Structures are given as C-alpha cells and as structure tokens.
Structure 1
Amino acid sequence: MAAKKLSETFSKTLIEEVGRWGCMKQTGVSLRYMMEFGSKPTDKNLLISAQFLHKELPIRIARRAIELETLPYGLSEKPAVLKVRDWYLDSFRDLRSFPDIRSTSDERDFTQMIKAIKVRHNNVVPMMALGLQQLKKEMDPKIVYEDLDEIHQFLDRFYMSRIGIRMLIGQHVELHNPNPPPHCIGYIDTKMSPVQVARNASEHARCVCLREYGSAPDFNIYGDPSFTFPYVPSHLHLMVFELVKNSLRAVEERYMDSDKVAPPIRIIVADGLEDVTIKVSDEGGGIPRSGLPKIFTYLYSTARNPLDENTDLAADMGTMAGYGYGLPISRLYARYFGGDLQIISMEGYGTDAYLHLSRLGDSQEPLP
C-alpha cells in the first residue's frame, strides 16, 4: 500500500493548526505534583486535570507530528514512519475537535477519548523500529551509525515525549479507578519497594532467558525489602527487566559451552538521601570499550533482529532483544523523573549498570 501524502489524507486547515500548536510552550509536571494533585481525585480535580490535558496534549503531539515530517535520510517517507505520523495527526485531530470541558460528564467522555488515543499509540516503538529497519536496508553499510546523530537525537526526543504523554494520560485515566491498589495514586506507588520490584523484574527476565536458551543463571538481590519511596513501579520494572535480561544473556552465552557453573547476577539496591541506586553486575565478559558508545544508540543490537523474520509486531513484545532499544529507552525512563542510567564495563570480565532514581520527586519532566 503506498502511503498517502500528508495533503491527501489530512485537510489543509488541520495541517496549519498542527503548525500553530507545535509552536506553543509545553508545561512540565513533576512526580511530586502528580502525587499531590492526584491524592484527592475529586470531580473538581479531575475536571482541572482534564482541562489541562485538553490544552497540553495537542501541543506535545503537534510537536512530534511536525518532527516526523522532517526527518533526515528520507526516514519520513518510510511506510512505517508515515503510519506513526498518521496516528499522531489522528490523535491531534481528536483532541482539537473535542469541545471545552465544563462538566463531569464532559470529563468522562474526554477520559474515554484519551484512553483510546493511548491504545492507538501502543505500537509506536516497534513501528518506528520497523521504519529504521526499512531505512537501514537501503543505506550504504559503510555509514557509521554514530554519524546518524540527528536520527538518534530525534528518537531520544520522540521517545522521551512519548513517555511523558503516556504518563499524563495513564495517570489521569487511572485516577478514575474505583479500587486503586493500596498506597497508589494513579500510576505512582507512594510506598514502592525497589527491592520487591527489582525481584519481580528479575524473575520475569529469567523466564525470558529460560525460554530462549533452555537455562538461565541465578540472580541475587541485596538491599532492604522494607525500604520504600514514591515512584512508578511499571517504569522501574521495565528498566530493571532490561538490565537483568542483558546480563543474563551475556552470562548465559559466555558459559554455555563451559563446564563451569555460570556465576549469578548481583543486584544491589542502595538508598541515599538524593538517589535510590540499583546496580546490576554480571560476569558476562563485558563490552569492548569501542562498543560502549553504541549501546545507547537505536541502530545497534547484538541480538538477531526480530523484525527480519516478518513476525507479527504486536505478538511478542516480550522478547524485546533485537530492537536495540532496551538500553536507550530505559535511560530515557530513568531521566524522565530526574534519574539516569550508566553502564561501566570491564572487557574480559563483566558489566556493571548503575540505575539512579531521584528520591526527591521535584524534577520537572524534561520536555523535548
């Protein structure tokens, strides 16, 4: 199917409106603000929240739609990228055609609509990955991927913005949950145990490793399970899952044909005054220093590429290996609430990943 040009699918007025909204200033919110605001999900507060989103979401979505139109190396013309662009424009149109929110019933209708927008964008990451594959197939293999800096910077901005949009929508929708889990305000668990979340994520990663290799190294977690702080458990799960999965894979592949017992992965959770830090250490042989700059790029992966096998994109996002996306996207999740992710490697021995999570909850969303 040939993707249609912008002007064939969308009206001129809509495109002009996207241009106008894309120039408006975005408004960031902090974890603390989301927590304080959401702790009393009264009709009045939900109304204020919906009115904020009604104005904020079109600005964020318009900015991304504009960028999707102007990507270098012909990436904007790739069918998968055009599809993503159309999702963004459809969502912009839905938001802009929704009338002002004045009553509780308006707010309920609006909540249903943004819920549908979130679902529409579920497969943006694999779809963009597919667009990059389509680009890579045509590119001169001699091009150094670090030279595609513009694309990396775009993807960092694009995915960071996506994390923010999904967090804002998800948070608002979740505040409607009549039976929220204990201590939870929307997506935020005010008493999250990082040790517990790390344990669940590590078990999950170990299952994936067992499925792929038939065996998996053990892992040990060190830290106080009763220590809690406010954070978004689903974000932490995703990051720890990714780090532990990479470590398990490295150790498994290094010890596969050896008669030695594979050494366990060590996961250490430390609570400082400013940061909670989670360190994931493995003895999987490490990464050569020349390879380290590549691990946070979107065009690099050591695993076989799942998109080459014409698999159904949505069917198995569980493996995630092969998109080359796990680390750069995990780092964005960490940075979204003021944290960071660092990887330090000893070639010939193993790798240490340091995941820093800000305890303060005051940092504003980084708005690309």
Structure 2
Amino acid sequence: MAAKKALASFPKVLLDEVEKWGGRKQTGVSLRYMTKFGSQPTSRNLVFSAQFLHKELPIRIARRTLELQSLPFGLSQKPAVLKVRDWYLESFHDIRSFPEVKDTNDELGFTNMIKMIKVRHNNVVPMMALGVQQLKNDINPKARKLDEIHQFLDRFYMSRIGIRMLIGQHVALHDHNPQPDCVGCIHTKVSPMDVARNASEDARAICLREYGSAPDVNIYGDQCFTFP
C-alpha cells in the first residue's frame, strides 16, 4: 500500500516509460574499451560518449527501479527503500527529459546533469542497508534467512558500480590535468596490493570503532605487480 501511494506522486506516463525502458537490453562496456576510447578525449568523442549515456543510463536505471518495486518479504515498502526508488525515478526522469545531445554545448549540459545524478545517489548503499534493517526488525527473528534479498543486493550493487563507473568516467574525461597513469577515472597501473591494503585498513578501522579491537591482516603477493 505504501509503495502504491508513493508511486501515485509520479506521473503514470513516467512509470509506463520506466516499464518500457526496463525491458530493453543494456549494452556492456569493457574497461579496455573505456581506456582506449578515453585516451583521446576530444570534443567529438565527448559528444559521442554523452549520446551513448543518454540512451544507456535510462535502461540501467529503469531496470533497477523495477527491481526495487518488486522485492520479496515486503522490502519494497520499507521507507528507506522507497526513498532509494524515488531517487532512481527522479534520475530516470532527468535523463529522459534532457534533449538529444547534438553538440559540445549539449554535452556540457548533459555532463553537469549526470554529475548531479551521481551525487544524488551517493547514499544509496547506507539507505539500502537501513531498509534491510527495517525489514529484519519487522519479521520473525527465527525466519531471517533472506537469501533472495542478499542475491538482489549483490546484483543491485554491481549494477550501481557499473552506472557510477560510466558516469564517473565520462565526467573525469573533462579533467584537463589528469593524475599520472590515469585515463579518466581508470588507473592504468593499479596495484592489487595497494587496493587490498586499503580495503583491509578500512575494515580494521570499522572493527576498531565498533568492537574496540581488530585482527591483523597479512597480504601476500608481489608488491610491484600492477595491472594491466
């Protein structure tokens, strides 16, 4: 009931369009292609990139929106999840309302718009976590094996990474002073050791804050190895 009531605040034509775009197939984009394409961020390439995102982002956002509306165990009706769904609907509307990208001026306007969308979605992860917690508080503690929810969250977060990567890469290509060894937001000589070390330090910091102690983490491997 809450979900239907909240949806009533959005025009039916928008919801119908979400259904239509959510049924379309998204286009995969590899890091190799993004790196090669981004190595020459000419005005023409940036316009081409914006034209692609203008068509691709609504598909990906619509698919996630539809999933958010049909989650099991009543998760879709939790206030935090409704908030996330509304963010996706608003972002879908913003992109679909933006005129066709034809030139550099259009591209710059489009880029500013998707930058704002990226900021709008900054708190999706903690908000979804809050929604899951709201669900757990409402159900029988003995029935908290929510495998379907976990599977959804895995898909949802992976898709979110993809959307933010596409937006972030396009925006970063406007940087006239990129960091060394970077093409947009892609580091061409990333160190798995550094990534693992940073992740473990973040995890230890959370443990220390929440529990007062944290285990030591040993990372093994070639410290000089980098991708690709």
Provide TM-score, normalisation by structure 2. 0.90
Q: 1:141 to 1:189 in 2, by over 3 A?
A: same
For 1:142 and 1:218, locate their aligned partners in 2 and report how far apart those are by CA, in whole Å.
33
CA displacement at 1:193 relative to structure 2:
2.1
Match runs of 1:60-71 below 5 Å:
60-71=60-71
Contact 2:181 2:189 in 1 (8 A): yes
168, 172, 175: which one pairs with 1:174?
172
Q: 1:202 to 1:165 in 2, by over 3 A?
A: same
CA displacement at 1:124 relative to structure 2:
0.9
State the partner residue of 1:104: 104
For 2:212 and 2:156, locate their aligned partners in 1 and report how far apart those are by CA, in whole Å.
36
Q: 1:61 to 1:139 in 2, by over 3 A?
A: same
Q: 1:211 to 1:171 in 2, by over 3 A?
A: same
120, 128, 148: which one pairs with 1:150?
148
State the partner residue of 1:162: 160
For 1:11 and 1:195, locate their aligned partners in 2 and report how far apart those are by CA, in whole Å.
49
Contact 2:207 2:214 in 1 (8 A): yes
Q: Is 1:137–2:128 an aligned residue pair?
A: no
Report which of the two structures shows the higher radius of gyration computed on alpha carbons.
1
State the partner residue of 1:187: 185
Aligned sequence identity (%): 73
- Alignment-mate amino acid for residue 163 of structure 1: I
Point out which structure has higher relative CO (alpha carbons under 8 A, 6+ apart). 2
Contact 2:136 2:144 in 1 (8 A): no
SS in structure 1 of the partner of residue 8 of structure 2? helix
- Alignment-mate amino acid for residue 170 of structure 1: G
Cα deviation 1:300-320 (Å, max 9, x = unaligned): xxxxxxxxxxxxxxxxxxxxx
Larger helix proportion of the pair: 2
State the partner residue of 2:126: 126
CA displacement at 1:151 relative to structure 2:
2.3
Q: 1:206 to 1:65 in 2, by over 3 A?
A: closer
Q: 1:171 to 1:90 in 2, by over 3 A?
A: same
For 1:22 and 1:135, locate their aligned partners in 2 and report how far apart those are by CA, in whole Å.
26
State the partner residue of 1:84: 84
Q: 1:18 to 1:213 in 2, by over 3 A?
A: closer
Larger strand proportion of the pair: 1
For 2:162 and 2:64, locate their aligned partners in 1 and report how far apart those are by CA, in whole Å.
12
The gaps in structure 1 that reach 5 residues or longer are: 231-368
Match runs of 1:196-211 below 5 Å:
196-211=194-209
Give the number of aligned pairs.
227
The gaps in structure 2 that reach 5 residues or longer are: none
For 1:98 and 1:73, locate their aligned partners in 2 and report how far apart those are by CA, in whole Å.
36
CA displacement at 1:9 relative to structure 2:
1.1
Q: 1:52 to 1:6 in 2, by over 3 A?
A: same
SS in structure 1 of the partner of residue 100 of structure 2? coil
For 1:211 and 1:186, locate their aligned partners in 2 and report how far apart those are by CA, in whole Å.
34
- RMSD of equivalent CA atoms: 2.1
Cα deviation 1:59-78 (Å, max 9, x = unaligned): 11111111211222221111
SS in structure 1 of the partner of residue 37 of structure 2? helix
For 1:155 and 1:213, locate their aligned partners in 2 and report how far apart those are by CA, in whole Å.
25
For 2:213 and 2:78, locate their aligned partners in 1 and report how far apart those are by CA, in whole Å.
39
Provide TM-score, normalisation by structure 1. 0.57
For 2:162 and 2:220, locate their aligned partners in 1 and report how far apart those are by CA, in whole Å.
31
For 1:206 and 1:151, locate their aligned partners in 2 and report how far apart those are by CA, in whole Å.
26
CA displacement at 1:218 relative to structure 2:
4.4
